[in-house]
Chain A
Amino acid sequence: MYQCPKCHGTMRTYDRHGVHIEQCDNCRGVFLDYGELESLTQMEARWSQPVPPPAPMPPAPPAGYGHSTPAWGAPQHGGHHDYGHHGGHHGGHHSFARMLFSS
């Protein structure tokens, strides 16, 4: 693992849409290899092209904002859209509510 040149924190590798990025866990500084900034810039240009908004949402955020997930995100994302998923059976609703409502 790399050490952050600025604060000597530990740097973790992330995969951002195919571009490897080292980010410091401590100061969140980012290290890019040769050519990676260009790749990100190209991607940014593609992202900022107009895309139809996904759903009516009060204070319209940028299109698709919040769609991404971290590398450790649950694999089943993208399909289901209901809360009943973990709530309907075997007393699961109680546990679901507790997870959302308590410290």
Chain B
Amino acid sequence: MLDFSAMDHALRSSSRTAGLLPEAGRALLPAADRGATPVVLADRPDGTVLRLGGSVLKAHAPGTDRRALELRLRAAAGPQPVLLAPHRAEDTGRMLLEVDGMLVTAWPAGEPVDPQAPQRAPWEQAGALAARLHATPALPGLPPMGGPAKVAAALRRLSDLARATGGVPGADRVRVAAATLPPWARGVAPAPERGRGGLVHGDLHLGQLVRLPSAAADDPYAGWRLIDVDDLGVGDPAWDLARPAAWYAAGLLPLEPWQAFLGAYRAAGGRALPQDAGADPWTVLDVPARALVVQLAALGLVRAAREGRPPDEVEQLMVAACARIGGAGQDGR
């Protein structure tokens, strides 16, 4: 029996989507979790996530391509030990429900990385998981990974804001840095075929790792799995290394975790990096890391403006990196 009063309390401050989600996704949940009190984990325009007992329900962003999501779910459900596999409805075996135009999936709940303690984040496991993901063959028809489209969306939001407010301090530096990117990395042209063949996550960061309580003692990744298949696809595997690369190059992330991540990726045979151990990884990281700096700087300026404050120290680091990107490599010879 559902506890309606507790549910009402939990959902009172949430969106209509969050209110509808427990009932909409009910058929996907294991019986034991159907009566659990929903807890809102995320409720944003790009997706709503509720926890119900040992499961989570996700309402994907409005406008999500259903066919593409189905292919991405099939990849997550496939034979690989890296991506968390979705729940299936016990009666029909389906992984995806569409209720009133809302696309709903269900997943086993895991323990996230503690945002208060990034020094204890599983950097080695993240690198090893990415390497294994990149070695997993992509099913035919899988769409391109969504990374460059996210850069395009972030730049669009920044220019919309600048247009609406008559200008955003720092936005010019982001635009100049964006102009150094090849069109594919800004999401305005198809990505080159180079490097394709395996799965690419497309939006890898520390919020995309969960630890399964049910993992075996000898689990090769200590129970950690990658979540969120919305940007999963084919493309340049270096994109999945680009966010930590961008954090490191911008001065946000210390050397040790960056080396732990990159070293574990390399040790696990990650195919994004040059095979020659002496080769500079930045020959493959540079373009996607610049793209991620642009994305993070744009979103940081939008967030600061929305919250009616000047950019904070972290947001300023990203804009400063944009300024250096805009100034570097332009001199020729």
Contact = CB atoms under 8 A, between A and B. Distances in A.
Nearest to A97: B115
A59 to B, nearest CB: 4
B182 A69 contact: no
Contacts of A97: 115-116, 118
Interface stretch (B24-32, B69-77, B280-288): B280-288
A57 B260 contact: yes
A73 B249 contact: yes
B49 to A, nearest CB: 12
B194 interface: yes
A68 B282 contact: yes
Interface string B180-207: 1110100000001010000000010111
A70 interface: yes
Q: Identify whether the interface residues of A are mostly helix, strand, loop, or mixed.
A: loop
A100 B206 contact: yes
Contact of A60 (B249, B267, B286, B325): B267
Contact of A70 (B46, B184, B282, B318): B282
A65 B280 CA distance: 9
A76 B296 CA distance: 20
B259 interface: yes
Contacts of A8: none
A101 B331 contact: no
Contact of B314 (A1, A7, A68, A92): A92
A70 B249 contact: yes
Contacts of A72: 249, 290, 321, 324-325, 327-329
18 contacts: A55-B256, A57-B263, A58-B124, A62-B277, A65-B266, A65-B277, A67-B255, A68-B280, A73-B248, A73-B250, A74-B324, A77-B255, A80-B254, A86-B313, A86-B314, A90-B312, A97-B116, A100-B206
